[in-house]
Amino acid sequence: MDLQNRDILFKALIIGALSFFLLIPTFLINNLVSERQQRQTEAFDEISSKWASAQTITGPILTIPYIEYSKDASGIVRALRKQIHILPEQLNIEGTMQPEIRRRGLYEVAVYKSDLAFSGNFKDAESQTFGIPKNQILFQEAFVSVGITDLRGIKDRVDLQWDSDTLSFNSGVEATDLMSSGVNLRIALDSNLAAGSKHHFRFNLALKGSRNLFFTPVGKETALKLQSPWTSPSFDGSFLPDSSKVSEKGFEAYWKILHLNRNYPQSWLNNKHQFTDSAFGLNLLLPVDNYTQTDRSIKYALLFIVLTFLIFFFLELVNKVSVHPLQYILVGFALALFYILLLSISEHLHFQLAYLIASLMTLGLIAWYSNSILKQTKLAALVVANLVILYTFIYTIIQMESYALLMGSIGLFIILTIIMYFSRKVDWKSLNMSEGG
């Protein structure tokens, strides 16, 4: 290998080493993004602790105590109090959500107020007593429970219309094997109710919460209709809506879920079932998550640095100019600084505007510096033009969640093809890196 080719190879190795060296500041910036995300999470938790946390509503569930007699080894008969749990035959829920944006410093969290109307019916209790003798069932001590994750979110008293009676719920739950938090009330059931008859119920629930609202499909048939002016809902949980409509005015969604769609029965004795596994509902997503998009853009930092360095390297080879390794480092730092600018500006402005401002500042700095070291405006313009294409390409990718990998891989293939196309025209043997320095 002659001296000229050794110079080129040595310069290429230095540029490659500098590219990986400059990953250190981008790694530190990535840690900074994670730190700001953690602070955002802490702000979410603080607001939720003062307003109300995410809510999951389970119920209503009818529970009937009964006495079970058992004889121990010594022949003594003991009476044990146990419970029958019964779920509604029909559960209809209709409601509205009024979202609000609460701020803590730089951070925002979506909270809401909801007005929900529950109605439906239970089958007569005696037909679901599993053959337990009637005189052992405590019909007069039956109670209805509704699970609510965070009781601080209840805005008004909750009254239950049970057949022709109106009763008020009390705080807390008696059947702790069903739910850990909620409201309950005593119902004196008629043990002589005719077989096939039904108990009808109705109650309204004004509930506050934050970020998401979920429901558990305890009905043999559960129907939920929910509407809100929120324009960016994320339907989540075990079931998606049967139909939904999202527009600039908000959303409207409808679910219909059968008991066959979940993994627990309509009635059972004592043993606990996992209701939360079947919960469904929606999350209130904020339209822009600047930290997620900044983090995604940082993943392309190495691509920015390597391609920019390649542009300078080819300009050196073809135009007989010389760029010092220190100048490569300064250009690399300017590229890394873009991410700090993007992160800091996006905390105050929309991500799109922050990306544009950070890009223009970085491009302006590199354009000025390139013109100084290359001594030719045409070459500096070529560098900036390539960076404009890169910034536009990366912005397009980070906006396309579903097709980001596909677009990224195709874009990289095109970039590699262009580099290979132009590099084939370089006469490597006749190059001299020292000329035109």
pLDDT band at 275 (very low <50, low <70, confident <90, very high): confident
What gap in Å lies between CA 287 and CA 234, rounded to an integer?
11
Q: Which CATH class is domain 53-287?
A: mainly beta
What gap in Å lies between CA 107 and CA 190, rounded to an integer?
54
pLDDT band at 437 (very low <50, low <70, confident <90, very high): very low
Domain with CATH 2.60.40 in the chain: 53-287
Q: Which of 41-45, 109-113, 350-354 has the lowest mean pLDDT?
A: 41-45
What gap in Å lies between CA 400 and CA 398, rounded to an integer?
6
Q: Looking at the predicted structure, is the pLDDT value of residue 158 above 90?
A: yes
Cis peptide before 88 (omega within 30 of 0): no
What are 11-25's pLDDT values in tens digits? Answer: 677 777 777 777 777
Q: What is the DSSP string of 128-167?
A: GSTT--GGGB-GGGEEEEEEES-GGGB-S--EEEETTEEE
Residue with the larger pLDDT of the pair 369 and 426: 369
Q: Which of 60-74, 121-135, 230-244, 263-277 has the lowest mean pLDDT?
A: 121-135
What are 415-431's pLDDT values in tens digits? Answer: 777 667 666 655 655 55
Residue 221, pLDDT score: 95
pLDDT band at 189 (very low <50, low <70, confident <90, very high): confident
